[in-house]
């Protein structure tokens, strides 16, 4: 896979990102990503603001048109398809877990979780740990076909460990590579490779 495609794919997954974060999720060198982005910027395929890059609409359309050609073999691979199906099953579990993390039952109604109930939060993080054990099996299956998926396994594990150590922002904070943020990006990555649409 050529580096230009991977950089553009990384931006599509990350939406709005620095060269370092694109490199980190795609398994590339930051200096190489920076050089590719400079060429993409010159060709008006990306825009830059405050050190972060975003695909232009024409570049996004061009990227979207490449997936079926570049990933036809991957989509037909039984191991990768099985891994994707396994991920989708876990995705429903993760969605419910994050809903339970963000809200709490008070007098029979769900209200925003202010995270003052440490026991409640600890139980959710325990559930996240159990989910991650299942996710590792799926990620190993995916990485057996596409090795860069090991990066997601490592980053998700790191986020989980921080949450288990008491830094609860690493469960779902959108400003960091929290577990939920990484999971969402992993899902976007898979959907693009497989030519699927996200179910709202």
The residue ranges of every structural domain in the chain are 3-70, 73-194
Residue among 12, 19, 64 at smallest CA distance from 189: 12
Question: Mind listing the pLDDT tens digit for each residue in 157-174?
Answer: 999 999 999 999 999 999
Provide φ and ψ at 17, rounded to 5°: -150, 160
Question: 3-70 sits in which CATH class?
Answer: mainly alpha
Mean pLDDT in residue range 175-192: 96
Answer yes or no: is pLDDT of 192 > 70: yes
Residue with tokens 């910027």: 41
Most distant CA pair in the chain, distance = 58
Interacting residues of 79 by C-beta distance below 8 A, sequence separation 6+: 141, 144, 145
What pLDDT band is residue 188 in, cutting at 50, 70 and 90?
very high
Interacting residues of 187 by C-beta distance below 8 A, sequence separation 6+: 87, 91, 198
């Amino acid at each position: 896979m050529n580096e230009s495609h991977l950089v553009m794919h990384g931006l599509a997954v990350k939406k709005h990102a620095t060269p370092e974060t694109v490199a980190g999720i795609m398994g590339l060198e930051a200096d190489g990503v920076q050089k590719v982005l400079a060429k993409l910027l010159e060709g008006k395929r990306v825009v830059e603001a405050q050190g972060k890059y975003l695909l232009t609409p024409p570049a996004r359309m061009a990227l979207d048109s490449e997936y079926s050609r570049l990933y036809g073999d991957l989509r037909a691979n039984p191991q990768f398809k099985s891994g994707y199906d396994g991920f989708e099953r876990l995705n429903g579990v993760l969605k419910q877990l994050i809903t339970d993390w963000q809200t709490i039952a008070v007098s029979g109604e769900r209200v925003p979780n202010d995270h003052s109930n440490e026991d409640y939060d600890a139980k959710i993080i325990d559930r996240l740990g159990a989910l991650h054990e299942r996710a590792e099996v799926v990620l190993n299956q995916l990485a057996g076909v596409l090795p860069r998926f090991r990066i997601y396994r490592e980053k998700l594990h790191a986020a989980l460990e921080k949450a288990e150590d008491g830094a609860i922002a690493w469960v779902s904070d959108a400003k960091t590579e929290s577990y939920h943020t990484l999971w969402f990006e992993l899902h976007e990555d898979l959907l693009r490779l497989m030519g699927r649409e996200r179910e709202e």
